[in-house]
Amino acid sequence: MESLTSPTVTQRDQLLVEQQVFSLFKTFYNMPPSSQSFMLELQRENHVEYLTNGLKQLGPSFCVLDANRPWICYWILHSIALMDEFVDPELEDNTIDFLSRCEDPNGGYGGGPGQASKFGILSLLTSNMPHLATTYAAVNSLVTLGGDKALSSVNRMHDGGEIDVRACYTAISVASLLNILDDKLVQNVGNYILRCFKVGSHSSFSSTTVLSEHVGKESVSCGLKIFKNAKRDQNLVGHFVSVTGSIAHILNCQTYEGGISGEPGSEAHGGYTFCGLATMILINEVDRLDLSSLIDWVVFRQGVEGGFQGRTNKLVDGCYSFWQGGIFALIKRLNSTKGERSIPLGDGEDSDPESPRTTASSDATEEGLNKDLSQDDSHSQKDHHDTSSRVNVADIGHNSSKGHAKVNPLFNSLALQQYILLCSQDLNGGLRDKPGKSRDHYHTCYCLSGLSVCQRSWLEDEDAPPLPHAVLGPYSNLLEPIHPLYNVVLDRYQEAHEFYTSS
């Protein structure tokens, strides 16, 4: 039924990737079991070595990403934390010092020492200094390092009264982490962004849509849009807003496809969809999104390779293991917290696990599809949990302990783990976009984050240990759980949460 004309560029590129991935899977299936388990093993030591070397080299040699060194810090530190490793104390001290030097006296973080220091508020109106994205990266880095020195080195910007935190995911995420998210801040962020908009600081960053609460007496309804880029080689996040009384306009970033775009009218994209959804959850407005069309869009981003693509008919890329995979972690939380009965939930017992295979080798097809991933357990759906109307922001991800309560992930977790381990992993250390590409810290971070999400995708509570069959390859592949809203390791989140709640 295919059209008989010659393949288009999209078809040709896709075919090339499929051939490469499938031949890799074929080689894998033809190996003896011992080699197979080696191939599926997460090469922790090599990854840690690659990452630690990267952290040591965060000196002046980084050129193109000079302005983004806090990002590299975060990617590396978070990756190391996911593997439950630590950096040695001296390196840790150096990193904290480095990040402190990036901090602007007025709050926020710039890209490198000295970059943030000059214009203060004025420059924020026309540019992004200190860069919102960088602030997010720096705060996440320090939270990931943990400990009093790191956590207390953040000058929480809310104190000054004037707003330094701008817009959406990065702003809201930072504020929420630092326990300074309140109605006033949301309002201030809104007003701040309103001014940015009027000044014409139309940023070309990617964005997501968000809607602030109706705050204060004036019921200022404003839309915050953040931008978060899912690509490795840039300044990851920016911000920008459009303001209107119309919710419809604000939600225009959710496209006709169901995913969320950078700006109204642009194409639905994994990175923006994650950020948009996370932000909407953080400010308690997630109900305004069309979640079923969002879910419908994101489930179709997982391709025959097992990994995710960022947009319709684009190529698979390991980094979307988190941007798209993380969406499922957020949705899982929403459903379990809200008690929606739409996702079939398990019966809360350890028994009767779904039937994912312990290794991928047994009966998968050549394409590496997991035929028997799950069986119909529609009998088991039921109303769990209280049906409180709103998600409790601070508690999402660490609310309650439901033990081994089991949910069925709406994506194929084992297929994704297989893609990450076999296609994205560089056995010499580091992870990558796809076979044939080189490793880098960005992909290492988001492939590992995605892997962590996968391993706990059957659990209702990220804090509980997953069952062996949920972890593809040896159980030693198990990574630390993350808090899906912030993408920091869960216990580091909890430490920071306590620290900032009590101080």
Q: Does 63 bind other proteins (CB under 8 A)?
A: yes
Residue whose pair of structure tokens reads 């978070």 in the numeric block? 78
Name the amino acid, one letter, at 410. L
**Rounded distance, CA 29 to CA 350, Å?**
30
Known catalytic residue at 311: yes
The verdict on 299 binding other proteins (CB under 8 A) reads: yes
Which part of the chain contacts other proteins (CB under 8 A), choosing from 139-147, 290-298, 424-432, 482-490?
290-298
Judged by CB under 8 A, which of 108, 111, 190, 223 binds other proteins? 111
Convert residues 208-247 into a mask of x (bound to other proteins by CB under 8 A) and - (unbound): ---------------------x-x-xxx--x---------
Q: Report whether the peptide linkage leading into residue 130 is cis, meaning its omega lies within 30 degrees of zero.
A: yes
The Cα-based distances of 184 to 121, 158, 159, 217, 280 in angstroms read 19, 10, 12, 12, 17
Cβ closest to other proteins, residue 146 vs residue 310: 310
- 74, 320, 419, 500: the active-site residue: 320
Q: In this structure, what token pair is assigned to residue 143?
A: 């939270």
Verify whether residue 319 is a known catalytic residue: yes
Q: Known catalytic residue: 314? A: yes
Size of the site for other proteins (CB under 8 A): 78
Please give the helix or strand (H or E) that residue 31 lies within, else none.
none
Catalytic residue among 131, 440, 447, 454: 440
Which of these, 52, 19, 14, lies nearest to 444 by C-alpha position? 52
Instruction: Name the nearest CA neighbour of 71 among 87, 54, 53, 86.
Output: 54
DSSP class of residue 260 equals B
Instruction: Measure the CA–CA gap between 14 and 265, rounded to whole angstroms.
Output: 26
Candidates 23-31, 66-74, 99-107, 161-169: pick the segment binding other proteins (CB under 8 A): 66-74
Q: Does 114 bind other proteins (CB under 8 A)?
A: yes
Of residues 268-287, which lie at the interface with other proteins (CB under 8 A)? Answer: 268-269
Q: Which residue from 61, 219, 378, 502 is in contact with other proteins, where contact means CB under 8 A?
A: 378
Residue 373 in the binding site for other proteins (CB under 8 A) = yes
Tokens of 441: 């810290």
Report the nearest approach of other proteins to the CB of residue 178 (Å).
Answer: 23
Q: Which of residues 450-489 bind other proteins (CB under 8 A)?
A: none
Alpha carbons 37 and 472: distance in angstroms, whole number: 10
Instruction: Enumerate the β-bridge partners of residue 224.
Output: 210
Which of 108, 262, 307, 481 lies at the binding interface for other proteins (CB under 8 A)?
262
Spell out the residues 6+ positions from residue 92 whose beta carbon is closer than 8 angstroms to its own: 86, 145, 150
Member of 152, 358, 359, 381 binding other proteins (CB under 8 A): 381
Reply yes or no on whether 398 is catalytic: no
Does 87 contact other proteins by CB under 8 A?
no
For other proteins, the closer CB: 219 or 438: 438
- Applying the rule CB under 8 A, the residues between 320 and 359 that interact with other proteins are 342-344
Region binding other proteins by CB under 8 A among candidate stretches 41-49, 366-374, 436-444, 448-456: 366-374
Of 42-50, 203-211, 393-401, 439-447, which segment contacts other proteins by CB under 8 A? 203-211
User: Which residues, in sequence order, are CB contacts of 456 under 8 Å at separation 6+?
Assistant: 329, 462, 466, 470, 481
Q: At closest approach, how far in Å is the CB of 267 from other proteins?
A: 4
Classify the phi-psi angles of 40: left when phi > 0, otherwise alpha if psi is within -120 to 50, otherwise beta: alpha
What count of Cα atoms within 13 Å lies in the side-chain half-sphere of residue 75? Answer: 32
Query: Catalytic residue numbers?
Result: 269, 311, 314, 317, 319-320, 433, 440, 443
